[in-house]
A and B are shown apart, each in its own frame.
Chain A
């Protein structure tokens, strides 16, 4: 009965590769988010979708592309991975944009 799930939990890959992280929520929420937590544990929002519409698009390299096929899913595709992309990526969801955000377990991405 996991509320917000992400796959994979760990991802190790080489520089230059393309990878995707998937997120699904079963809370009936209509808004989903991607956050990045760097090595100093600082958390920063990357994107947000509300009813499949992109509403937050922070200053993120265009190698990062979110996709929301429906309200329950938000995927993150990363092209041409760089060393600096190594981080933990969290997905979150909320009911409405002012609702409390519930986070997934995170995906630790390591770029070698």
Chain B
């Protein structure tokens, strides 16, 4: 079974600084997708970034970038120029094909990391 581990239950950072959230996963699949979602106090789940395992290039979305290390099964999220609005719980998630390889869909989430940005 696939598992996703976020080893940092809580992190904090000063506004305008950079922070990195860690995520490791375990799978025997070679084709899969990785995601970071954020959940602010409003509880809405918001997509931050998506990475396809077959792509060697790390995904970036404005101030958010990932360090995808496929061999190490590591997928960390770097937030640059942190803003107060980045305060949220961040979830790493993994999606692999089903047993028959006919479809995807099942997101497996990590335990989450609470990020607090201080002014």
Contacts and interface: CB of A to CB of B under 8 A. Distances in A.
B119 interface: no
Contact of A105 (B37, B43, B89, B107): B43
Contact of A43 (B33, B42, B46, B109): B109
A103 B45 contact: yes
B84 interface: no
Nearest to A103: B45
Contacts, number: 60
Contacts of A48: 105-106
* Interface size class, chain A: 20 to 34
* Interface size class, chain B: 20 to 34
Contact of A100 (B35, B39, B108, B109): B35
A98 B50 CA distance: 11
A42 B35 CA distance: 16
A43 B104 CA distance: 17
Contacts of A33: 105, 107
A42 B4 CA distance: 12
9 contacts: A40-B111, A41-B39, A50-B105, A55-B105, A56-B106, A92-B45, A94-B105, A97-B103, A108-B43
